[in-house]
Structure 1
Amino acid sequence: MSSRPKRPLSTGPNPTSKRQQARQIAATHDEVALKIAKELLQARPPPEQNNLDIMPGFGISHELSQDNEAEAMQLFVESAEWEGINAFDEFAAASQDFKTLWKTSVRVLHMPPNCMLAPQNLLQYGTSTSISDKVVFGSDFSKLLTSLIIHPVWGHEFGMFRLALQFAVKCRIGHRCVWPEKEHHARGYQAIETLRHMLDQSRDGPETISDMLAKAIGETEIAQDDFPVFLLTIADYVRKEDGHDLESYTQCHGLFPFPVMIEDLRAIERALDNYPWVEKSWMTTTARIWAAFKSELGNDKVEFPEPGQLKEYFSRNVEYVFRVIFSRKKQKKDQGGPDARLSQSLPGEQERNAMDDRISRLERGHAELVSRFDQERLRNAELLKRAEALESESLSTTRSSNDSQLRTENELLSGQIERIREERDTAKDQLREEARIRLENLTQARDQLSKAHDEIDYLESEKGNSQVELESLRNTNVELTKELFDVKQGCNNAQKNLIEATQGWSETLKDLSEARQNIASLERGQGRI
């Protein structure tokens, strides 16, 4: 009877050890992903009203005249997007992935998804008219887009994510027009600025945009961080297409934004997962980060929007997009191109730099005022010590003297010292309050200036805004300039008050010295008696 031969002992690696190592690596990646998710949720809490007031599609309106507003809303009502919003049910199972996308995009990027993939950002959802008219993104598309939004490479800012989306589509469809559309969208990356110049000089040629970016990175003289090289990595995962008529391929309500498809998102996902980040904590997959994010998100006690509110916000987002679409179509129809007069009338870079210089001078003046205030505070402390010593001496003299005149002088001196102390405390409180008010005004002025800069950039990118928006911007700049002048004047007044207070304290110190001499004289007279 034959027996089964025994299996020889394995001399290779232990499979159990390999599985343990794999589990340890997975656990490490999960810890890293959880740390990223927690930091993101701490940095981006649920939005409050002041956050919504500065978000596109919420507080930032695209104002139109009454007639134009009616036409824009008519365009909206007649669109497939209108039908999609009316049919939208946030509680339906099919809507949950898009609902998660909407909440995540608003919280993390401060940008609703329908305002993200919209003409004002040269982006649209899908490719053909039948797809791009759908206002609710598909389930797979929504889930993948949501997982990309939370990656730390974007720094919680839509601007960098917009560059990645646009670049992925441009690589896929072979688009060689100037990019980024606005120079400031390059965000200070020298390689991207060089690429924009190269595209502006040569819009036709055999080189792809990824080849041109690689060349631009090679020509960069100063050290750059990862982002331009990361964009180049996206191109490695893009499936390039040929033979498309770009205008008919990307048309959306008469405009031509870049069509974002799910394969573009997958290319970005692969680049994120495989790029050798300098920041080692990013060396984990987007899927792990998203899983950790969902787990931590369940611990939030605040939900935005509340159940039943999403459809209202959703409609406002899309209305905003249609105002932008109408403005651009009207501009194209009326003028046949960019509104040069509007571009010329917008505040230029020189004016904005001048405003920045005024803010810098104001900050330096405030710092100098704070320094002087600290010096005066030290002088006040020294004066207080001297006054207390003088008070102690005068009280001692009063106790040792039986002369009524000397006692009266001491009492008067004590009262004078008390009044000096009260005046000093009052002056210190006033100076602190003035400094606090100046600092608050400076902070408000800087915030308003930042908002004015954002609005200027927005107007420059739109060029179809109505004259009402332009006039509002001018008024904002005038009011800001006036407020800056008032703040500077307030600083000058505070400085003047400090000088006057210093002079008053010097005179008081002189009076105290004379009083001490009188006391000494009276003591000598008493001794002779």
Structure 2
Amino acid sequence: MSESQQGKRRPRGQKESDRPKKRQTRAPKAPPSDAALTAARDCLEQRPIYPGRRLDGHLRPDPAVEFATLNPEEEAEAMALFDASQSKVDYEKFRPVEGTNNPTVNEFRSLWKVCLRVFDWSPVFMISPMQGLKYRSVAKGAQQSGSSHAPENPEPPEDPDQPDPTQDPEGSQPSKGTKPSEVIFPPDFSKLLAALIVHPCWEWDVVLFILALQYTVKCRVDNREPWPHNDLLYRVSSLRTLRSMFDDPDREPVGIAEMLEAMHNSQAEGTRSRFSRFLHFLGGQVRSTPSDLRQPQTYLGVDALPVTIKDLRFLTAAVRDFDWGIESWNCSPDDVWKAYRAERGIGRDEVPRTNAETKKYTLRSLKDVYREIAHQKRVSRNGASRLEAPNQVDGLEAPYQSGLDDNQEDVAHEGGAEIPIDDMLNLPAEDTMVTSRGNVPDMPRESTPFYPEPRKREPRRKALVDGEETEDEEEDLQRNQRSEIVSNERQVMRDVRRRDQFGSGMMSGLTFTSPYDQFSSLPSFPRPSARLAPLTPVASGETLSQRLKADDERLERRFEASESSIKWLKEENIRIRDTQKSHGEAIRNLQRGAQLQICPPNEAESFNVATTTQRLGILEMENSNLGQQNQALQERIDQMIKDAAQQQTEWSEKVKTLEQEKSSLLGIVYEKDKTLALQREKVRTLEVQLNAINGIQQEIEPSTDEPVQPSIRLPDMVEKWSEGELDVDARVQASQLGSRRTRNKVAEAFSSSNPGLQRLGQRNY
């Protein structure tokens, strides 16, 4: 017996109860920090629950009848590629069972929930050749040729700093079914990817995350092709200088990390953006091995950088250790992920809700990816490749080209007569076909592609790339600023058409308005409350009736829109109730079937209890979800009815006020018109009297002071005159009585009877 075994024996005389016992209790988990909770809450507020109906608009249905009708040849080629691929084999091996605790299935479904909610993207499409990426498993069991017992899903943890250089994950081509799945991510990979997605440093922007992941893989596998691609360059303008360095035909063949280091050193301290500083820091964290350099960097003729779990670990460490300058950003991805799950819960209401939905959405995403691959291969065969860099640049070969390709799809089907994929593709000769060079496949766009302007080589940049020292820092700064101005003048990709389909090769309608180096919270715009405005003067040329008519028309349109929304919600509510009713009937039928499970021995019929119970559980869960949706719709209908009633009351009060003001104004106008009519009547009367007096004045001849004997007494005549009893002839006769002094008295009496003619009497008499 060995000494180590003897040392483990219990001494004589020592009872078993005296031996120290192992602690069975676990230490309680530490609660998330305040900064991590802040980051998680911001993410949940800015990115609400992803509605399932939006996914149907982003992914083509299966089968894609409309696409196959419009593009029959392309659909046939895409489905042939998919049927002949290892991806289909891996997908068919994915048979998740509801209600089981499978880490691979659970973490993959959780990744789907997070990726859809934060990035509005399918994780299968995000890490695909359409974004210049392809997931590669590095499980050691997959590297042994001829092994028939390789693990399917688990991916053992490995030390990224000390990998085995003798192992080549793509060196052998085992038969189908012996490699770990490269469609369904292993649990460790899904966890790391989900934790990275929810971190606030990406500002919930999938383009920034893809750029960081591409850069990580390029540093690890030493990929030296032009980067970033034009379709992603618009998001981070500070990387235009790096992109222009690839266009220099005399540049030295150095890695992208060295090129970014040169650009970083040539820029002034205050001109570096936060994201470019992070990429510079990230390049120093990545370590590569000889086996990394041998990994394939294409897939079916399309550039696809191999993404492994090592890349996610490098990226996680860089995000954790980089000084972002914001407290909530300085949290590690794992801390933010724990806080996110603590605040969100298990996400039962988020899609995909079941394992069956996860498998269905994965299949639709895969087929969209192969449709885009088939489209690019057809374009490449026609000699009009949409990829960025050609194989020859001004007659010179590109400085670096990976000779590895992923031919496992063809090797797997050698000797099989199912689908002659090589004959179907009929690729042209190498000297006649433009080779794919870009890391990210080009995407259809309307704007002009990026064509670099030829310019004289700058010796300072060469010195920086070669690692030389120079004392002319001022000249370097001026040259760098001049280069920045030229880059800014050549703005490209301004109006990129962004379709909302994963399989279309475009990003899902993403728009970005603020540069990365300016972090600011999104403003909120409160809804203004409706209130009555005071009556304002009517504009020139607009009558009161026209204004009231326009207000009535706007009010009617508002009411019609509200009624239409309420009607649609009621119809949706009825539809949900009908579906709930049908589910209830199905549940009752299943319950009756379960009750009939115990049958007499002479009956040959049998029922599957497990299947019935499973279907019953699914229908009950769907019925519960429909009930919640019905309740939410009912609450929304009630709120809209309440808002409509409130708006109707407010508008009714406003209309009532306008009607009152209208009535008041009409009354005032009526009184004014009546007064003006009376005044006009008085003016006409006075004009008649004035004309009569003027006629009398002309007929009367000058008389002397000799008295004239009147036919009537003067006092009586004055009294009758003042009382208005004399007619015109009598007044004329009275005006001729007596001397001038007497006539003046008569005129005074006449004028006093009518104050309006006082001045007239003084003038005439």
Are residue 290 (structure 1) and residue 337 (structure 2) matched? yes
1:122 deviates by 0.3
Comparing both chains, which one has the higher relative contact order based on Cα–Cα distances under 8 Å and sequence gaps of 6 or more? 1
CA contact (8 A) 2:264 2:280 kept: no
TM-score by length of 2: 0.43
Aligned residue among 72, 75, 79 for 1:73: 79
Are residue 310 (structure 1) and residue 358 (structure 2) matched? yes
Alignment of 1:370-449 (within 5 A): 381-383=536-538, 421-430=544-553
- Whichever residue aligns with residue 446 of structure 2, its letter is P
Cα deviation code 1:119-150 (max 9, x no counterpart): 11000001656669621112211111111111
Cα distance change, pair 242–48 in 1 and its aligned pair in 2 (3 A): same
- SS of the residue corresponding to residue 114 of structure 2 reads helix
1:339 deviates by 8.2
1:249 deviates by 2.1
Are residue 347 (structure 1) and residue 394 (structure 2) matched? no
Cα distance change, pair 433–347 in 1 and its aligned pair in 2 (3 A): farther
What is the rounded CA distance, in whole Å, between the counterparts of 1:161 and 1:272 in structure 2?
11
- Which position in structure 2 is the counterpart of 1:228? 276
- Which position in structure 2 is the counterpart of 1:84? 90
What is the rounded CA distance, in whole Å, between the counterparts of 1:354 and 1:262 in structure 2?
35
Number of aligned pairs? 375
What is the rounded CA distance, in whole Å, between the counterparts of 2:303 and 2:444 in structure 1?
26
What is the rounded CA distance, in whole Å, between the counterparts of 2:495 and 2:374 in structure 1?
34
- Whichever residue aligns with residue 91 of structure 2, its letter is I
Cα distance change, pair 433–110 in 1 and its aligned pair in 2 (3 A): same
CA contact (8 A) 1:98 1:139 kept: yes
Are residue 41 (structure 1) and residue 70 (structure 2) matched? no
CA contact (8 A) 1:234 1:268 kept: yes
- Which position in structure 1 is the counterpart of 2:300? 253
Cα distance change, pair 236–67 in 1 and its aligned pair in 2 (3 A): same
What is the rounded CA distance, in whole Å, between the counterparts of 1:37 and 1:435 in structure 2?
39
CA contact (8 A) 1:73 1:319 kept: yes
What is the rounded CA distance, in whole Å, between the counterparts of 2:443 and 2:134 in structure 1?
29
What is the rounded CA distance, in whole Å, between the counterparts of 2:254 and 2:547 in structure 1?
75
Structure (1 or 2) with the greater helix fraction:
1
What is the rounded CA distance, in whole Å, between the counterparts of 1:280 and 1:132 in structure 2?
39
- Which position in structure 1 is the counterpart of 2:318? 271
Are residue 32 (structure 1) and residue 42 (structure 2) matched? no
TM-score by length of 1: 0.61
CA contact (8 A) 2:127 2:135 kept: yes
CA contact (8 A) 1:126 1:132 kept: no
Cα distance change, pair 203–289 in 1 and its aligned pair in 2 (3 A): farther
- SS of the residue corresponding to residue 335 of structure 1 reads coil
Alignment of 1:189-204 (within 5 A): 189-202=236-249
1:174 deviates by 1.3
- Whichever residue aligns with residue 184 of structure 2, its letter is V
Aligned residue among 515, 518, 522 for 2:673: 518
Cα distance change, pair 299–140 in 1 and its aligned pair in 2 (3 A): closer
CA contact (8 A) 2:91 2:363 kept: yes
- Which position in structure 2 is the counterpart of 1:160? 208
- Which position in structure 2 is the counterpart of 1:97? 107
Cα deviation code 1:338-381 (max 9, x no counterpart): 489xx99963359997999xxxxxxxxxxxxxxxxxxxx99962
What is the rounded CA distance, in whole Å, between the counterparts of 1:166 and 1:271 in structure 2?
14
What is the rounded CA distance, in whole Å, between the counterparts of 1:108 and 1:209 in structure 2?
29
Aligned residue among 282, 303, 309 for 1:262: 309
- Which position in structure 2 is the counterpart of 1:108? 118
1:434 deviates by 8.7
- Which position in structure 2 is the counterpart of 1:134? 182
1:432 deviates by 7.6
Are residue 120 (structure 1) and residue 130 (structure 2) matched? yes
Moved more, 329-338 or 206-215: 329-338
Cα distance change, pair 353–82 in 1 and its aligned pair in 2 (3 A): closer
- Whichever residue aligns with residue 254 of structure 1, its letter is G
1:423 deviates by 3.9
What is the rounded CA distance, in whole Å, between the counterparts of 1:232 and 1:518 in structure 2?
85
What is the rounded CA distance, in whole Å, between the counterparts of 2:667 and 2:290 in structure 1?
93
- Whichever residue aligns with residue 320 of structure 1, its letter is D
What is the rounded CA distance, in whole Å, between the counterparts of 1:293 and 1:435 in structure 2?
41
CA contact (8 A) 2:130 2:372 kept: yes
What is the rounded CA distance, in whole Å, between the counterparts of 1:282 and 1:345 in structure 2?
35
CA contact (8 A) 1:90 1:310 kept: no
- Which position in structure 1 is the counterpart of 2:621? none
- Whichever residue aligns with residue 40 of structure 1, its letter is C
CA contact (8 A) 1:168 1:238 kept: yes
Cα distance change, pair 46–244 in 1 and its aligned pair in 2 (3 A): closer
Aligned residue among 37, 54, 57 for 1:51: 54
What is the rounded CA distance, in whole Å, between the counterparts of 1:104 and 1:344 in structure 2?
26
Cα distance change, pair 39–264 in 1 and its aligned pair in 2 (3 A): same
What is the rounded CA distance, in whole Å, between the counterparts of 1:268 and 1:305 in structure 2?
27
- SS of the residue corresponding to residue 134 of structure 2 reads strand
CA contact (8 A) 1:84 1:135 kept: yes
What is the rounded CA distance, in whole Å, between the counterparts of 2:107 and 2:365 in structure 1?
18
What is the rounded CA distance, in whole Å, between the counterparts of 1:244 and 1:271 in structure 2?
19
- Whichever residue aligns with residue 187 of structure 1, its letter is Y
What is the rounded CA distance, in whole Å, between the counterparts of 2:227 and 2:124 in structure 1?
22
What is the rounded CA distance, in whole Å, between the counterparts of 1:168 and 1:192 in structure 2?
15
What is the rounded CA distance, in whole Å, between the counterparts of 2:308 and 2:232 in structure 1?
22
1:107 deviates by 1.6
Are residue 150 (structure 1) and residue 156 (structure 2) matched? no
Cα distance change, pair 132–252 in 1 and its aligned pair in 2 (3 A): farther
- Whichever residue aligns with residue 237 of structure 1, its letter is Q
- Which position in structure 1 is the counterpart of 2:176? none
CA contact (8 A) 1:177 1:200 kept: no
Moved more, 126-135 or 155-164: 126-135
Cα distance change, pair 193–516 in 1 and its aligned pair in 2 (3 A): farther
Identity of aligned residues (%): 26
1:520 deviates by 2.5
- SS of the residue corresponding to residue 201 of structure 1 reads coil
- Whichever residue aligns with residue 330 of structure 2, its letter is M
CA contact (8 A) 2:52 2:351 kept: no
- SS of the residue corresponding to residue 232 of structure 1 reads helix
Cα deviation code 1:503-522 (max 9, x no counterpart): xxxxxxx9999866533323
CA contact (8 A) 1:380 1:424 kept: no
CA contact (8 A) 2:109 2:352 kept: no
